[in-house]
Amino acid sequence: MADYYPPVGFHFRVNIEGLETDTNEKDIGFQEVSGINASVGEYTFEEGGENRFIHRLPERISYENLILKRGVLHGSKLIEWFRNAVESYRFEPKGVLVTLLNNEHEPVESWTFINAYPVKWSVSNFDAQSNELAVETIELAYQYFRRMDNNE
Q: pLDDT digits over 114-124, tens only?
A: 999 999 989 88
Q: CA–CA distance from 11 to each of 19, 58, 102, 120, 125 (Å)?
A: 20, 35, 7, 25, 26
List, in sequence order, every residue forming a beta bridge with 100; answer none if it has no partner. 12, 109
The 10s digit of each residue's pLDDT in 45-92 is: 998 888 899 999 999 999 999 999 988 877 788 888 988 998 899 999
CB count, 10 Å around CB of 63? 17
- Asked which of 26-30, 78-82, 110-114, 136-140 is least confident by mean pLDDT, the reply is 26-30
pLDDT at 108: 86
Residue extents of the structural domains in the chain: 12-37+64-149
- Which 3 state secondary structure label does DSSP give 83? helix
pTM above 0.75, yes or no: yes
Mean residue pLDDT across the chain: 85
pLDDT at 148: 84
Local structure of residue 78 (DSSP, 8 states)? H
**pLDDT-derived band of residue 10, with 50, 70 and 90 as boundaries?**
confident
pLDDT > 70? residue 136: yes
Q: Which has more pLDDT, 103 or 37?
A: 37
d(CA 106, CA 101): 5
Q: Which CATH number fits domain 12-37+64-149: 2.40.50.140, 3.90.1150.200, 2.30.110.20, 3.10.20.740?
A: 2.30.110.20
